[in-house]
Structure 1
């Protein structure tokens, strides 16, 4: 699950591309990103021709130095499975007994 960052010189933000590779998505019909940067409201990742899911978001660099997030994988049966980013900057214990991924937004 690549995590690609592009720091902007013109604004205090970083463009972060969140991606879930086909093997990590398994048989998911849909993948959503949830995190502090969206007030834990889901953002749907788009499926590419290669079977990977991607979304690019702009995150502020003039606030917290990092944000927590995880993925919701929606199975063909409609079940929601939570997973972390295999290439996250770090992991922290979450409030529901599982870890959350961390993305750092400072250089």
Structure 2
């Protein structure tokens, strides 16, 4: 898994690209407080090599909690900037700092 950050000079925005290797998966979504934890909001596109990839524009100078939803199973980003405990899920969320 990987996260790529591209900060824009003209806007207070960072283009964040999420890449998830999930060759056997049918569907991968990135879900977090930036999309109100809506499990239908941000689906990643499956590439020919079996990797799922998608880009989200996020406001810079903020931190966001998120997780991946891979065929209905919650997964964390192992390259996240940090992890935050979530009492609701009784598990950790990945954190990205922009």
| TM-score between both structures, scaled by the size of structure 1 | 0.84
Regions of 4+ moved over 2 Å? none
Q: Structure 2, unaligned stretches of length 5 or more?
A: none
Higher strand proportion (structure 1 or 2): 2
RMSD (CA atoms): 1.2
Cα distance per residue 1:16-45 (max 9 Å; x no partner)? 001102xxx252211011001111113110
Superposition map of 1:2-41 within 5 A = 2-21=2-21, 25=22, 27-41=24-38
Q: Structure 1, unaligned stretches of length 5 or more?
A: 75-79
Larger Rg: 1
Superposition map of 1:58-73 within 5 A = 58-61=57-60, 65-73=62-70
Distance 1:51 1:26, change over 3 A: closer
